[in-house]
Structure 1
Amino acid sequence: MCCMCSTAIVSAQSVKIDTSRIMGHPRLLLLPGQEEGIKKNIASNIAWGKVHADILEACDSLLDKPALERVLIGRRLLDKSREALRRIFFLSYAWRMSGKKKYFRRCEEELLAISAFTDWNPSHFLDVAEMTMAAGIGYDWLYKDLSPASRQRISEAVITKGLTPSLEEKYNGWLRGKNNWNQVCNAGISFGAAAVYESRPALAAQLIERAIQSVQIPMKEYAPDGNYTEGYSYWAYGTSYNVFLISLLEQLFGTDYSLSQLPGFLKTPFFYEHVVGLSGKPFNYSDCGDGTEGLQPAMFWFANKLKDPSVLWQEKDNLEKGRSMAKWNRFLPAAMIWGKDVDVTAVPSPAATWVGDGENPVALLRTSWNKQSGIFIGFKGGTPAAGHGHMDAGSFVLDAEGVRWSADLGMQGYESLESKGLQIWDMGQASDRWKVFRYSNFSHSTITVNKALQQVNGRATFLKHSGDSLFTRAVMDLGSLYAGSLTKAVRGIAIANKQYVTVRDEWEAGDSTCTVRWAMLTPAHVVSIDKNQVQLQNNGKKLTLYVNGLPEGAALRTWPTDPPNSYDALNIGTVLVGFEMTLPAHTKKEVTVLLVPGEGQVMIKKSSLLPLSEW
């Protein structure tokens, strides 16, 4: 492991890149002669050989397709920018690995097509960033064989449609942002700048130095533990581009100017590895999908950097499954580059527990990495005000026996909401964002008080946690999310004796009577409800939800997840299960819910029913 030290933060004024170190083409990602290392890897490893073959097969499928056209979806060109990156990265990789002119000609055609676009849509600058990176890689990797006319057209497009717009204040607000936009845009522009360095050396140096300074803002969000505020899917986006930027700096200048040493950054692969549960699904809180991202190239970069193959547990699984990812994973050639020196046959199992603090703290607890017999819990704190946030503080997902029992609906496509006129990027309490069912606490495995939204400015924090293998646990203070209604709201979740899960809530009402709803979103079928227990069935497996201390007058029930508004997405195959109870003013209540997988009897430990102060 590398030592993380706060003194490693780069001083913006002290960074001056040494442009004399910039070599000829190709200079981005894969240097001359490094193809041989990839060829040896694919010859000796069947799994890597299949990834390589999938990339070439995808390239062959592109040969007869028309080049991309500038067609926006709503306000975005982003799908075209991403497809441009996939096509150009793949085709230029195929050219360098095979030397076959068919790949070169098709890649050049795509480069000239995007160069002819009127612009790369700078009003939504992610579009520009990804297009600039695509053009930069293609230009660099094909440079020696491009005609002078093609070089001129492509380099001019990179400069006028990518680099120059990034200097305009109306387009570059991302320079001050702390989210994925900063990482993506700085990396994309830096790749373009490095690719066309000979044409505009002063501008290229200016933009790369600017990126080193600016990217520290979102990188500070990894502190202290490597948690990524925007969740699993945006980790795969923002962190991947951050790694591309650092890799670029290392290759161009022999240093990353200590960026990788910023607190938390070299811990973040452990977050990404642990956030995938035993069902194979990620803990998809915030604006994340419920499927995995597949093979993640950045994880191989981290494994090399840390000299720790244990971060590749999920990647080894992805490789062994042999699923083709070439139709959608535009970063895939980077896995071939960063993975060529990694032995994926000898990956030790990681630790069972990972807990990360930060703006959106999360606990990822499991009994083992055995998908068929293990238990996994993802437990989230944080605030709805975080980037891409939902009102999901206190929510949890649960996997047992390879099946997901407590789930998260995840994101809804932005265009489906923006096209209806909803202002979903306003994070205020009265925002349209919280009118979206999937974004509100009404759809999550957490509590709702008085049928009201969580407080946007509230933040749930961990009070304590433990990796004790017989009582793996985390306790969270949710009180500020319900300010004005509850004076206390504390939730603890534990895996007891490696056999079942305990969810304990302790509440105290304020000056008025409250109605508290305890709910769990599940994709399982509700087989029966009998007094204080619910029988669930999913994919041939069973789980019992048992409430210890069900309040008098409360009854277990279900709520539908049908879209309440015309703009809401469908939530097919899910239901909410739980109970509502009345909490008189200034009274306290403790409720423990046990989630027991399987059909056999389980001995309930007394520690599962103890007050959270004794956990």
Structure 2
Amino acid sequence: MTTAIVAGLAMQSAAQSSLSNFAANSASTLSPVSFTWGGTFVPANSGEVTAMGQMLPFGAPVRPHLTLNAQRITRINQLKNTDATMQTYYAGLIDHVDWLLLQPVYTVQNVDSRMSEERITALALAYRLTNNTAYAEKARQYLSTLVAMPDWRAEATVLHVLAEFTSAAAIGYDWIYDYLTPSERTALRNAIVNKGLNVALARYRSGSTQQWWTWSGLNIAMVCNSGFITGALAIRDTDPSVSSEVLAHAQKSLALAMASLNNDGGWIEHHGYWVYGVGRLIRGFDMLETSLGTDLGLDAGGFLSKTGLYKVLAGGRGPRGTACFDFGNTYPLNEGAPELYWLASKFGQAPLAAYQKTLHQDGQLIKPWDLIWYVPSTSGDLANLPKAGVFRNNAQFFARNSWSTVEPNAIAFKGGDNKANHNQPDIGHFLYESQGVRWFLDLGRTADQQPGPGGKFYRNSTLGHNTLRFNEGEQPSTAQASMIAFSNRDANQFGIIDGTQATGGAAALWKRGVALRGGSTVVVQDEWTAAPRTRVDWTAYTTATLEPGPGRKSVYMTKDGKTVTVAILYPPTVSFQVSSGYIKAPESPIPGLKKVTLMYRPTTIWNRMVVAIMPGRRALSDFNSVRQSFLDDWVNEANLP
């Protein structure tokens, strides 16, 4: 058996051997956390730059060495003959690059940073796997466009486009180095240094708070720093001083970003920006490790070992084109993430690999990085994924009844920080899907849209979310809500937040719990303390057809031939109202949008509201089996044998 195959099997064995990285089957209370990200970026001083240069090698490398190397090339070419998944990936790559051969190359006027990076990466990988110089030639043409550009479009305060161009050029330089002529290598290397890294260095050195990508600790920090790391590693043998200084600054900037993954690997900017930001971070880590044998100590806290489960639970599972649990102003589609293969291999988490593999079986796009990081897995590994998880550093909870189907019963629920990047005033917001239908949904991101009346987006308002409002008010932008209890026991999965700050002073206390019980019944329970007659509005949005049940104590929701029933269990004095969820132009409408509401003005100080949802068309008597208890008792009840 060859060395490459043995290495591959060793990764598979390691991945299958350790599930201890995932949370245990338990229920407990949680201490409130402080939602923080980023910090003060202090540029690396001359001593730190010198130390970086002395610590790391900068001799002529054996190319390629940026993630792709001889061992990985051999492994891919061997696995494509023995592993059905790799065969599919390989065929998909070749189909894609054959199509690219027929497409015109970007001009200087219409070049796109992200698409350039994707196309150069795919073509260069195909060249290394097949030795077909047609692929290298097409990649060279794309690289020539980058060299011909007068600059790489550095913006005033963020450099993600610059970083993507730098990464594209660096990958192409390293991966097709042997195909390029000496003069082409020089021109491309000079472009990486002068149009990419020197521009970045000027921004690093300024230490200006306007360069918020250096200190924010958010997705933009991960994208920028990882791109510049890739560029610095590509030219380290010829420009060691530039390389060392970039790495020294990037190390300090990324240390702030790594802290944003603290506690349990959740991501404050939600699923779509995990795919973009954390995905690029992992790519940068792999570049460092394959080139220098170190991650510069950036993951000393072990935060990356916890973050894969967040992407999995927030992404869910569904055919291509279906939505993730799209909180905030994030991308709505569930994108595959090849980085899950990298995490599976590095930390022995085979379920992550099984999940990524399953997404492709469900129709997700294959990326070059899938081939490079691929880890074999089995359906049994997928079954070992936790069905529920809580993430304290963004106060999010996810639960589902199964991973074996694309039509699970599933919930997502959040507290969090209203002022965080790509967040909205939506503490208490929940999403629900069953039978392949997203019954209660998010209204979507506002990118590329015009605001409605008053220059505001309905989608961005508290009223535009599935949560509770007090006195018809908007949640304060400064409000935060910690997850204070959770259970990931299969029979009783739930999260509970303390949303008091979100009431804007209208309530002395507000807690919300959302539960998935017995894998099918959803319970949304609110408890609050407020002055008598304080108005409370329960709101949720759907595109289903709505039919009020007897006495408006329930609502039948129907879509795509499927039905669920929503019922108010407490208090007995309120009834459902259904109405159009019309969104005013020019903000983009959602066809068929409707709103389900409950309005309550209790005469008591302490109050609660309990809503339950069951799949199918249900009589009110069917809900008698739903246990009603105080939120403070949910943890103890979940721990009962």
The TM-score with structure 1 as length reference comes to 0.88
Query: Aligned residue for 1:451?
Result: 472
Q: Would the alpha carbon gap of residues 377 and 120 (structure 1) be closer, same or farther in structure 2, given more than 3 Å must change?
A: same
Q: Is 1:292 aligned with 2:326?
A: no
Q: Does the 8 A contact of 2:567 with 2:612 survive in 1?
A: yes
Q: Is 1:382 aligned with 2:416?
A: yes
Q: Which residue among 428, 437, 451 is the counterpart of 2:458?
A: 437
Q: Which amino acid aligns with 1:312?
A: A
Unaligned runs of 5+ in 2: 1-17, 23-41, 635-641
Query: Aligned residue for 1:69?
Result: 107
Query: Aligned residue for 2:283?
Result: 244
- Secondary structure at 2:79's aligned position in 1? helix
Q: Which amino acid aligns with 1:149?
A: S
Q: Does the 8 A contact of 1:137 with 1:191 survive in 2?
A: yes
Q: Does the 8 A contact of 2:108 with 2:145 survive in 1?
A: no
Aligned-partner Cα distance in 1 for 2:592–2:86: 36
Q: Is 1:395 aligned with 2:395?
A: no
Q: Would the alpha carbon gap of residues 308 and 561 (structure 1) be closer, same or farther in structure 2, given more than 3 Å must change?
A: same
Q: Which amino acid aligns with 1:24?
A: V
Q: Is 1:318 aligned with 2:381?
A: no
Q: Which residue among 141, 163, 170 is the counterpart of 1:136?
A: 170
Q: Would the alpha carbon gap of residues 59 and 279 (structure 1) be closer, same or farther in structure 2, given more than 3 Å must change?
A: closer
After superposition, give the CA deviation of every residue in 1:1-40 in whole Å (9 maximum; x if it has no partner).
Answer: 6999xxxxxx985766412466232111111353121012
- Secondary structure at 1:589's aligned position in 2? strand
Q: Would the alpha carbon gap of residues 455 and 324 (structure 1) be closer, same or farther in structure 2, given more than 3 Å must change?
A: closer
Q: Which residue among 35, 40, 43 is the counterpart of 2:81?
A: 43
Q: How does 1:491-502 map to 2 (within 5 A)?
A: 491-502=512-523
Aligned-partner Cα distance in 2 for 1:24–1:279: 41
Q: Which residue among 523, 541, 548 is the counterpart of 1:528?
A: 548
After superposition, give the CA deviation of every residue in 1:63-85 in whole Å (9 maximum; x if it has no partner).
Answer: 2322223457xxxx8xx111101
Aligned-partner Cα distance in 2 for 1:548–1:401: 23
Aligned-partner Cα distance in 2 for 1:141–1:196: 13
Which stretch of the first structure deviates more once superposed, 543-552 or 121-130?
543-552
Query: Aligned residue for 1:612?
Result: 631
Q: Does the 8 A contact of 1:278 with 1:370 survive in 2?
A: no
The alignment of Structure 1 onto Structure 2 pairs a total of residues equal to 577
Q: Which amino acid aligns with 1:227?
A: G
After superposition, give the CA deviation of every residue in 1:456-475 in whole Å (9 maximum; x if it has no partner).
Answer: 11111122112233322221
Q: How does 1:171-570 map to 2 (within 5 A)?
A: 172-277=211-316, 281-294=323-336, 296-321=337-362, 323=363, 325=365, 332-339=367-374, 341-344=375-378, 347-349=381-383, 350-358=385-393, 360-371=394-405, 374-413=408-447, 415-417=448-450, 435-510=456-531, 513-530=533-550, 531-550=552-571, 552=573, 554-566=574-586, 568-570=587-589
Q: Would the alpha carbon gap of residues 279 and 55 (structure 1) be closer, same or farther in structure 2, given more than 3 Å must change?
A: closer
Aligned-partner Cα distance in 1 for 2:21–2:480: 30
Aligned-partner Cα distance in 2 for 1:403–1:224: 32
Instruction: Report deviation, 1:283.
Output: 1.1
Unaligned runs of 5+ in 1: 5-10, 327-331, 423-430
Aligned-partner Cα distance in 2 for 1:345–1:604: 35
After superposition, give the CA deviation of every residue in 1:334-392 in whole Å (9 maximum; x if it has no partner).
Answer: 111111x433565242122211101x211112223243674211111102111111122
Q: Does the 8 A contact of 1:279 with 1:404 survive in 2?
A: no
Q: Would the alpha carbon gap of residues 313 and 519 (structure 1) be closer, same or farther in structure 2, given more than 3 Å must change?
A: farther
Q: Would the alpha carbon gap of residues 317 and 346 (structure 1) be closer, same or farther in structure 2, given more than 3 Å must change?
A: same
Q: Which amino acid aligns with 1:49?
A: Q
Q: Which amino acid aligns with 2:537?
A: R
- Secondary structure at 1:390's aligned position in 2? coil
Instruction: Report deviation, 1:274.
Output: 1.5
Q: Which amino acid aligns with 1:599?
A: R
Which stretch of the first structure deviates more once superposed, 521-530 or 450-459?
521-530
The TM-score with structure 2 as length reference comes to 0.84
Q: Does the 8 A contact of 1:223 with 1:263 survive in 2?
A: no
After superposition, give the CA deviation of every residue in 1:245-264 in whole Å (9 maximum; x if it has no partner).
Answer: 11111112212133233243
Q: Which amino acid aligns with 1:63?
A: L
Q: Would the alpha carbon gap of residues 421 and 557 (structure 1) be closer, same or farther in structure 2, given more than 3 Å must change?
A: closer
Aligned-partner Cα distance in 2 for 1:53–1:479: 54
Query: Aligned residue for 2:30?
Result: none
Aligned-partner Cα distance in 1 for 2:232–2:189: 10
Q: Which residue among 155, 164, 186 is the counterpart of 1:152?
A: 186
What is the root-mean-square deviation in Å for CA atoms of aligned residues? Answer: 2.7
After superposition, give the CA deviation of every residue in 1:178-225 in whole Å (9 maximum; x if it has no partner).
Answer: 101111111101111111223311101111222222111111111101
Aligned-partner Cα distance in 1 for 2:116–2:101: 14
Query: Aligned residue for 2:637?
Result: none
Q: Which residue among 613, 622, 625 is the counterpart of 1:595?
A: 613
Aligned-partner Cα distance in 2 for 1:126–1:22: 28
Aligned-partner Cα distance in 2 for 1:224–1:300: 22
Q: Which amino acid aligns with 1:610?
A: S
- Secondary structure at 1:416's aligned position in 2? coil
Aligned-partner Cα distance in 2 for 1:608–1:578: 23
Q: Which amino acid aligns with 2:263?
A: P
Aligned-partner Cα distance in 1 for 2:238–2:317: 51
Aligned-partner Cα distance in 1 for 2:633–2:292: 54
Q: Does the 8 A contact of 1:383 with 1:460 survive in 2?
A: yes
- Secondary structure at 1:146's aligned position in 2? coil
Aligned-partner Cα distance in 1 for 2:470–2:131: 64
Instruction: Report deviation, 1:565.
Output: 4.4
- Secondary structure at 1:457's aligned position in 2? coil
Q: Would the alpha carbon gap of residues 211 and 594 (structure 1) be closer, same or farther in structure 2, given more than 3 Å must change?
A: same
Q: Does the 8 A contact of 1:179 with 1:238 survive in 2?
A: yes
Q: Would the alpha carbon gap of residues 344 and 368 (structure 1) be closer, same or farther in structure 2, given more than 3 Å must change?
A: closer
Instruction: Report deviation, 1:311.
Output: 1.8
Q: Which residue among 75, 79, 82 is the counterpart of 2:114?
A: 82
Which gives a bigger RCO, structure 1 or 2 (Cα 8 Å, sep 6+)?
Answer: 2
Q: Does the 8 A contact of 1:529 with 1:557 survive in 2?
A: no
Aligned-partner Cα distance in 1 for 2:457–2:186: 48
Instruction: Report deviation, 1:291.
Output: 1.9
Q: Which amino acid aligns with 1:522?
A: T
- Secondary structure at 1:215's aligned position in 2? helix
Aligned-partner Cα distance in 1 for 2:332–2:233: 36
How many percent of aligned residue pairs carry the same amino acid?
24
Q: Does the 8 A contact of 1:290 with 1:409 survive in 2?
A: no
Q: Would the alpha carbon gap of residues 71 and 396 (structure 1) be closer, same or farther in structure 2, given more than 3 Å must change?
A: farther
Aligned-partner Cα distance in 2 for 1:277–1:32: 35
Which stretch of the first structure deviates more once superposed, 57-66 or 297-306?
57-66
Aligned-partner Cα distance in 2 for 1:570–1:313: 37
